[in-house]
Amino acid sequence: MKILNIIGHPNKNSFNHAIHNTVFDFGRTAKDISVINLDLYEEDFDPIMRQEETEKNKQLVLEYQDLIDEADVIVITSPVWWFRLTPMIEGFFDKVLTPGFAYKFRPITKEYGIPIPLLKNKKVITFLTHGAPALPVYTIYLNSVKLRLVMGVYSFCFGWFKQKVVQFWSVPFVSQNERMVYLEKIKTVMRQTYSKVKRNL
């Protein structure tokens, strides 16, 4: 199983990086698991849409698309900032998950089409950290961060049944013991994913 392990957080000492490292360490648990780490800050990826893209960024986008092609599982780790993922991850979506590579439209009338995912042989797992507790996110805000990801990004590119979004709540305020519980949950998710993917390889 080949895992592409993507993070878009600037602080190496953050809990997001602890999640990212936990996924990487999972790759050592079996000989048939390989993990490629992709730190978008370390890569100096430019997430801003510009009229003229730099040659460096053009090359990075092609490299990232190749890495996605080679992966069985894509893991994305990000905090939630203003009900979105970090600009690095959002820019990654904009520039890498492009029409013709990640999805295409099938015309159904002269004016309308439906999105056809081109990465439906991949599984995508997203680990999100929130500063907020779960209750207001689920009730007042209708779980809008996850909803946008699932319906507005992943269903287009990966299809409806190849995605998993795991959310961790009140991260700046929980104890270290609670954070360790969160990391154990990540290990469980990765073990379950390995079992499912291995059956289909």
Q: How far apart are CA 184 and CA 55, in angstroms?
A: 41
Strand locations in the chain (E):
2-7, 34-39, 73-79, 103-107, 113-117, 123-129, 163-168
Query: Over the stretch 181-195, which tens digit does the pLDDT of each residue have?
Result: 999 999 999 999 999
Q: Is the pTM of this model over 0.85?
A: yes
pLDDT of residue 162: 84
| Phi, psi (degrees; rounded to nearest 5) at 66 | -65, -40
Q: What is the mean pLDDT of residues 84-99?
A: 97
Q: Are the C-beta atoms of residues 98 and 118 closer than 8 Å to each other? A: no
Among 5, 184, 189, 1, CA closest to 89: 5
Mean of all residue pLDDT scores within the chain: 95
**Domains along the chain?**
2-200 (3.40.50.360)
Q: How far apart are CA 79 and CA 159, in angstroms?
A: 23
pLDDT of residue 161: 85
Whether the predicted pLDDT of 110 surpasses 90: no
pLDDT of residue 200: 77
Q: For residue 201, name the pLDDT band (cuts at 50, 70, 90).
A: low
- The helix (H) or strand (E) run that includes residue 89 is helix 87-96
pLDDT of residue 198: 82
Facing residues of 107 across strands?
113
Q: What is the mean pLDDT of residues 48-72?
A: 96
- Beta 113-117 vs 34-39: how paired, if at all? unpaired
Sign of the dihedral through C-alpha 85, 7, 89, 106 = negative
Tell how far CA 106 is from the center of its chain: 25
